[in-house]
Chain A
Amino acid sequence: MSPLRQAMRSTVGKKVLMAITGLALTLFVIVHLAGNLQLFLKDGSKFNAYAHSLESLGGLLYVAEAGLLFFILAHAVNGILIKGSHWAARGDVRYSRYQTKGAPSRQNLSTQSMIVSGLTILGFLVVHISHFKFGPGVAEGYVTQIQGAEVRDLHRLVVETFRQPGWALGYMGVMVLLGLHLRHGFWSAFQSLGAMSPRLSPVISVIGVVLAVLLALGFLGIPAWILVDPMGVYR
């Protein structure tokens, strides 16, 4: 067995893969939110132009999408395998009573729900991508003009979707779970990579919490903003 294959079979290697894919996805999510903040603007043309410019990347977009798909699948499959090994490792008889000893243990809702938040995100992604990427477009009448050209009016689709309370609340719920996932995940990834020291640990921990809260609030803010519509622009 080659050393790399052997490493990937080891518990340490699996965690390193988890961390690299997790951090790559985190980076993507940050960029994704940065672009989507334009949805807070009253005028949808900025957002549509941005979406159109991404569509126009052509080959580069396919490379990026293939990369993302690989990271998601590698992360999800690996996460499910790791979770499976935990179940087996406890043995046939489980504790009748189990209680954390508290700090310095980091055990909390976030660590306990990694697989639940992860699997929910996976399910969410199927709906999210089929609705917004492969959903109604120019052919279905979602058309707008950008510099004279006819392009997809993604902004209208987003607004129409989140004006429906079911969609908006569903999205908001999943974003809370994403925040929970990252609250443990961000710090954990550095520990998995062995990039940790007593001085660094609290700093990364705080960055992780701030990042998780900002990302969750940012993403959850979009459907909330459109649903509540405090400026009365979508009515």
Chain B
Amino acid sequence: MNLTLVVWRQSGPNETGAFKTYQAKDVLPEMSFLEMLDFVNEDLIKAGDEPIQFDSDCREGICGSCGIVINGQAHGPLQGVATCQLYMRHFHDGDVISMEPWRAKAFPVVHDLVVNRSAFDRIIQSGGYTSAKTGKHAEANAILVPKEDQEAAMDNAACIGCGACVAACPNASASLFTAAKITHLAMLPQGQVERARRVKRMVERMDLEGFGNCSNIGECRAACPKEISIEAIAKMRSEYLRALGSTEAKED
């Protein structure tokens, strides 16, 4: 199939970008979206042009590197998949496909479709960890965790930190990311020690990075490749209110 690609090109963080149009010829339906871009880039390189830059690593939906706003939707038209898991069979011959980077003040564009997501790293550094002892790991059943708690923790641990929640949110809010991390650890025994401090510090950091507030729209959930529920955001708020009364957070 033949496609028209309208792609955001920006040669550096401080350069002004613009859309450029490319023709993609003989694209196969079994190509992934990123393979299609590789294919187009080969032609660009042969012609002596700058290839379109985009992020990717695992190409199987587990690393969180990839992410393009395709036709106005983060990770494209499907739900529950990252850009690398989107296949060209979901498009038709003659389609015009627009591609933009994640747009958020806290995610500055590095080049073309590549953005700097280190704001997420700083949110994790502020509290998204448990201070566990290193050394020989404990016997698996030494600490029992109720099944529902395991499930809830696991659902939220599925977050790959791709940033689609921020990209899709009309407010560019990082609430789903931050809430997933907070909920994941709050559900487990290992997360109890720093529980109050964690939510306070992570929310503080999230605000400091310049993300927007959450209006409970749930666009993040629809864009999340791991389909993490916005129930996590309600949990983040109740955890925050709970922390207000705790001495652990007060002494922090």
What 1/0 mask marks residues of chain A from 36 to 63 whose CB sits below 8 Å from any chain B CB?
Answer: 0000000000000000000000000000
A184 neighbours in B (Cβ, 8 Å): 216
A14 to B203, CA, bound (A): 12
Given contacts A11-B203, A106-B217, contact A96 B172 (CB under 8 A): no
Q: Which residues of A contact B244 (CB under 8 A)?
A: 3-4, 7
Q: Is A31 an interface residue (CB 8 A)?
A: no
Minimum CB–CB distance from A12 to chain B (whole Å) comes to: 5
B218 near A106 with CB under 8 A, answer yes
Kindly state whether residue B238 has any CB partner on chain A within 8 Å.
Answer: yes
Interface residues of A, count at CB 8 A: 51
Instruction: Contact check, B237 vs A101: say whether CB atoms are below 8 A apart.
Output: no
A161-192 interface (Cβ within 8 A of B): 184, 187-188, 190-192
Determine which residue in B104, B107, B219 has the highest number of CB atoms from chain A within 10 A of its CB, and name it.
B219
Choose the segment among A86-94, A149-157, A209-217, A218-226 that binds chain B (4+ C-beta atoms closer than 8 Å): A86-94
Within 8 A of A (CB), among B217-252: 217-219, 221-223, 229-231, 233-241, 244, 249-250
A191 & B216 in contact (Cβ 8 Å cutoff)? yes
Q: Are A3 and B249 neighbours in the complex by a CB distance under 8 Å?
A: yes
A75: interface (CB < 8 Å): no
Cα A73 to Cα B109 in complex, Å, equals 38
Q: Does A107 contact B (CB under 8 A)?
A: yes
Whether the pair B98, A96 counts as a contact (CB closer than 8 A) is: yes
Contacts from A to B (Cβ < 8 Å)? 3-4, 6-7, 9-16, 82, 85-86, 88-107, 111-112, 114, 184, 187-188, 190-198, 201
Residues of B within 8 A of A (CB): 17, 19, 69, 71-73, 77, 79, 98, 100, 103-109, 168, 170-173, 175, 203-204, 206-207, 210-219, 221-223, 229-231, 233-241, 244, 249-250
29 A-B Cβ contacts within 8 A?
Answer: A3-B250, A6-B204, A7-B240, A7-B244, A11-B211, A12-B237, A82-B213, A88-B105, A88-B210, A89-B106, A89-B173, A89-B211, A90-B172, A91-B105, A91-B172, A93-B17, A94-B103, A95-B72, A95-B103, A99-B71, A101-B79, A104-B218, A105-B217, A106-B218, A191-B233, A193-B237, A193-B241, A194-B240, A195-B238
